[in-house]
Amino acid sequence: MAYPYRHEKETRILSECFGDPSARTVAGWKKHGGYQGIARALEIGRDATIEDVKASGLRGRGGAGFPTGLKWSFMPKNTGRPHYLLCNADESEPGTFKDREIIRWTPHQLIEGCLVGSYAIGAAHCYIYLRGEFFETTQILARALEEAYAEGLVGRDIMGSGVDIDITLHVGAGAYICGEETGLMNSLEGRRGEPRIKPPFPAAVGAFGMPTTINNVETLAATAHIARHGGEWYRQWGTDKSPGTKLFCVSGHVNRPGNYEFPLGFPMMELIEDVCGGMRDGKALKAVIPGGSSVPIMSAEDCRACTLCYEGVEAAGSMLGCASVIVMDENTDIVKQVRRMAYFYTHESCGQCTPCREGTAWATRILRRIEDGLGTEDDLDTLIQISEQMTGTTICVLSDSLAMPIISSIEKFREDYLALIRRGERVGAA
């Protein structure tokens, strides 16, 4: 076992060295094939590297699932201006703890991914934007980066190729919204962390006004392997629409929560019941949030046939997001859970767009009142309407991310709300 929990069914590509501190050094990482990806990329050239990533079908692991190779191909060529690669390590989605683990155990895996990405898009400078609370993570990464510079893997003329790629760590101040790609850019530039209106898109006008690509930690880590083995190799796992492996962050009421790596398309119930050792204390499953707090909640029934790939979770009425599976048992008070999450979004709203600034706070206050037993049935309609007014009306999707859980929880757990409103009964409250 080791590393909190492991399971024999796992396919460990990204997580091979989780729990093994020896992989934190250049030499240790090279034992696992490290830095062969960037070496091959430098050999086959930029366009071929992008083609490899396109062929792999890798989709962005930050939550939106946009094809990474396609994103890279949006970068303009021969602009004569600096290009930037940004690595989004501002992992703050409630329930998500995969990027932190990639960096903690295999910092060179990320550094190599950043090199591959930077090289492919013609960036001489990559910024890794780290979440402010990642103290240990940042230290480990900084140490690894120092070593990589000393070894000539990063900086001038990397690996003797004539290519210059610098990597800079930038530590945020702990704002969820700075994990939104354009909010991250503003924060990186020293402005308020507020998402920017698109267009212009980052590939045209990004960080410091220059063509920019921004990728998630897990995405870049995966490109290091794809660069090494080629695109087709990656397709041996996963489904046609969701190729490759993915880290699943399982938290909540299971016996063995943790990070598990599986090919996409892995059945949700097998993850919960087998891999994670089933529900804690033998309780019944009540609900699952499959992709981080921003996605619609699923009832136990929705989970039965659900497979964990982009299309599989969508078919079950939710979204894979960043595959942060939050499992809740029968003793969960859904109203309280939604209210607590709403409070999170209220707290993290940057405040520039009206529907988000006012809507998240208002919804939280209504949910609080319902939770206090002072709600009415009208409140549920109001909540749904507020949520609709928060969907698709703002610059970024933060308010949509609260709207979806609210709407889905009222649809799927209306009885829980009504019990509280009509009879003051907290369903599930232990």
Partner 1 sequence: MADNGRKADTVTLTIDGHEVTVPKGTSLLHAAETLGVEVPHYCYHPGLSAPAQCRICLVEVEGAPKLQPSCVTMAQDGQVVHTESAQARRMRQGVLEFYLVNHPLDCPICDMSGECKLQDYVFNEGREHGRGREPKRVFGRDDFGGDVLYYGDRCVMCTRCVRFMDEVARDGRLTVVERGDRAVIDTFFESGLDGASFAGNIVDICPVGALVSKDFLHKARAWDLDHTESVCPNCSQGCNIDLHTRDNLVQRLKPRENPEVNGHWMCDYGRANYEWLNRPGRLEAPAVGRGDKRRASDWQHALHALFERLAEAEGASVRVVGSAFSSNEALDALRALAEQAGTLQAGVFRARRAEDEDPLPGFPILVRRRDLAPNVDGAGILGFTRVGDDDGTGGLEEAADHDGVLIVVGDELADQDESFGAKAGLFVYLGTFDSPAARNADFVLPLTTFAEEEGTFVNAQGRVQRFRQGLRGPGTAQPAWLVLGTLAAALTGGDRPVSAADAFASIVQRHAAFGGLIWEGVGSAGAALEAAHA
Can you tell me which of 82, 277, 278, 351 binds partner 1, judged by CB under 8 A?
351
Choice between 170 and 365, CB closer to partner 1: 365
The neighbouring-strand residues paired with 245 are 263
Supply the minimum distance, in Å, between the C-beta of residue 350 and partner 1: 5
- Whether 201 and 209 have beta carbons less than 8 Å apart is answered as no
Supply the minimum distance, in Å, between the C-beta of residue 100 and partner 1: 24
Q: DSSP readout, 9-68?
A: T---SSSTTTT-GGGGSHHHHHHTTTTHHHHHHHHH-HHHHHHHHHHHT-B-TTTT--BH
Can you tell me which of 67, 97, 358, 418 binds partner 1, judged by CB under 8 A?
358
CA distance 270 to 386: 36
Residue among 169, 199, 23 at smallest CA distance from 90:
169
Rule CB under 8 A: say whether 128 interacts with partner 1. no
Rule CB under 8 A: say whether 340 interacts with partner 1. no
Supply the minimum distance, in Å, between the C-beta of residue 364 and partner 1: 9
Alpha carbon separation from 332 to 124, 167, 288, 327, 426 (Å, rounded): 49, 44, 11, 10, 9
Can you tell me which of 141, 184, 297, 366 binds partner 1, judged by CB under 8 A?
366
* Subset of residues 191 to 250 that bind partner 1, contact rule: CB under 8 A: 192, 197
**Segment near partner 1 (CB under 8 A); pick from 108-116, 123-131, 278-286, 348-356:** 348-356
**Segment near partner 1 (CB under 8 A); pick from 100-108, 158-166, 349-357, 401-409:** 349-357
Phi, psi values for residue 85, rounded to 5°? -105, 130
* Subset of residues 167 to 196 that bind partner 1, contact rule: CB under 8 A: 175, 177, 192
- Whether 62 and 75 have beta carbons less than 8 Å apart is answered as no
How many residues comprise the chain? 430
Rule CB under 8 A: say whether 377 interacts with partner 1. no
Rule CB under 8 A: say whether 346 interacts with partner 1. yes
What does the block give as tokens for 15? 């997580």
Phi, psi values for residue 169, rounded to 5°? -90, 135
Size of the site for partner 1 (CB under 8 A): 32
Q: Which residues of 406-421 are buried (b: 16+ CB within 10 A; e: fewer)?
A: bbbbbebbeebbbbbb
Q: In what order do the strands lie in the sheet with 245-252?
A: 258-263, 245-252, 324-329, 285-289, 298-299
Supply the minimum distance, in Å, between the C-beta of residue 193 and partner 1: 8
Supply the minimum distance, in Å, between the C-beta of residue 202 and partner 1: 17
Rule CB under 8 A: say whether 357 interacts with partner 1. yes
From residue 298 to residue 337, the character string flagging contacts with partner 1 as x (rule: CB under 8 A) and all else as - is ----------------------------------------
CA distance 184 to 196: 10
Neighbouring C-beta atoms of residue 398, cutoff 10 Å: 24
Supply the minimum distance, in Å, between the C-beta of residue 188 and partner 1: 17
CA distance 426 to 419: 7
Rule CB under 8 A: say whether 382 interacts with partner 1. yes
Can you tell me which of 393, 418, 419, 426 binds partner 1, judged by CB under 8 A?
393
Rule CB under 8 A: say whether 347 interacts with partner 1. yes
Rule CB under 8 A: say whether 36 interacts with partner 1. no
Supply the minimum distance, in Å, between the C-beta of residue 382 and partner 1: 5
Can you tell me which of 223, 251, 293, 349 binds partner 1, judged by CB under 8 A?
349
Choice between 9 and 198, CB closer to partner 1: 198
Supply the minimum distance, in Å, between the C-beta of residue 38 and partner 1: 38
CA distance 6 to 248: 12
The set of residues, in sequence order, having a beta carbon less than 8 Å from that of 40 and lying 6+ positions away, is 227, 228
Type of residue at 152: G
**Segment near partner 1 (CB under 8 A); pick from 2-10, 60-68, 304-312, 351-359:** 351-359
Alpha carbon separation from 295 to 254, 281, 320, 393, 396 (Å, rounded): 20, 27, 8, 17, 15
Can you tell me which of 10, 52, 90, 348 binds partner 1, judged by CB under 8 A?
348
- How far is residue 350 CA from its own chain's centroid? 19
Rule CB under 8 A: say whether 79 interacts with partner 1. no
Residue among 114, 137, 129 at smallest CA distance from 188:
129
Supply the minimum distance, in Å, between the C-beta of residue 186 and partner 1: 11
Q: Which 3 state secondary structure label does DSSP give 16?
A: coil
Rule CB under 8 A: say whether 395 interacts with partner 1. yes
Binding site for partner 1 (CB under 8 A): 175, 177, 192, 197, 346-355, 357-362, 365-366, 369, 382, 385-386, 388-389, 392-395
